Structure 1
Amino acid sequence: MSKAFVKENDHDHDDNLEVDASPLPAGTKNYITRDGYIRLRQELERLMNVERPDVVQTVSWAASNGDRSENGDYLYGKKRLREIDRRIRFLTRRLEIAEVVDPAQQPNRDQVFFGATVVYSDSAGEEFRVTIVGVDEAEPLQGRISWISPVARALIKAHEGDTVILRTPGGVEELDILEVHYPDP
């Protein structure tokens, strides 16, 4: 049968594509909180011990059904297996280079560093609450921003009560730091 009718191998080259969803600046460490490290580790273990074996079983069953060219379970399973393997490789690499930081051990608790929760207001008087975390655990909509984000870079090393400058494509913004919190040791 012509390869034109069998799409089974068309995307095998995707296995070698590594999309780094959270790039680190060159020469920087992959800082991460203890909780973030635990979440990534749990995701890796779930993928390796639960999801991957389930998909392998489904693909094996689907392959035994004969014609693979029109077998949706087989084709989807192979695609999902590639996605899982790609995510496993990504997580493994990120965990290997992770440097766990415990924000509770921060001695300068009135100054903004990695792991701090900061309440600040912008020039319009609107208040924001953000926690500065690692790139692999950032969730901006939940107030967890990466330490390499423009807002975090503006806040880092400032003290409670300081005004810092945030440079954005739309111009310069002043941020007033109202509170700095760290988890209790």
Structure 2
Amino acid sequence: MKAEGNPITPAGIAALRARYDHLLGTERPQIVEIVSWAAGNGDRSENGDYLYGRKRMREIDRELTWLAKRMKAARVIDPAGQEDQTRVLFGATVEIADDDDNRRTLTLVGDDEQDATHGMIGWGAPIARALRGSRVGDLRRVQLPGGTKEWEVIAIAYPPAGTPPR
């Protein structure tokens, strides 16, 4: 399965939905209540609760719009269902080593769920683009801001079928 468009894992889309539901069902109603209460207190021009509440409501509405667009454009791909698990495709967990045998383990996920501190690299990142389609033993070069770096693919793994979202 090729990951075209805006690929995302089932766990990634679940996280986007959870954030959307939290903002819409919890945060926004609380802010609306605060703004209503503050508006009833009189002069709105110097009312910090009112001004902050309106600002926060705009931020929430902007994030809700962004989340809705991302979820609509998302193409959910279950990494366990990848047909050719000998190649690096969307959702693969890849162990790579550089020239000094420094090893890193990366999981290629959707751009909306990337988290480099946990080794989750977005599908559009330079290193992910370089690793796409590679097999164990392949050497891949990546142009980074600090210069070109070369890595060897040591291992490729996919989650087993039926694995619940992380």
TM-score by length of 1: 0.83
1:43: how far off? 0.6
Residue 49 of structure 2 is matched in structure 1 by 73
Query: Could you list the runs of 5+ residues in structure 2 that have no partner in the other structure?
Result: 162-166
Alignment of 1:165-180 (within 5 A): 165-180=141-156
2:134 to 145, 158, 163: 158
Distance 1:174 1:98 in 2: 31
Residue 32 of structure 1 is matched in structure 2 by 8
- For this pair of structures, how many residues does the alignment match? 158
Answer 1 or 2: higher relative contact order, Cα 8 Å, separation at least 6: 2
Residue 85 of structure 1 is matched in structure 2 by 61
Matched, 1:106 2:82: yes
Residue 144 of structure 1 is matched in structure 2 by 120
Matched, 1:49 2:25: yes
Percent identity (aligned): 46
Deviation string for 1:123-157 (max 9, x for gaps)?
22211111101111011111111111010011110
Larger CA deviation: 169-178 vs 80-89: 169-178
Distance 2:6 2:145 in 1: 26
Return the index of the structure with the highest Cα Rg: 1
SS at match of 1:89: helix
What's the Cα RMSD here?
Answer: 1.0
Distance 2:147 2:57 in 1: 45
Alignment of 1:7-22 (within 5 A): none
1:173: how far off? 1.6
TM-score by length of 2: 0.92
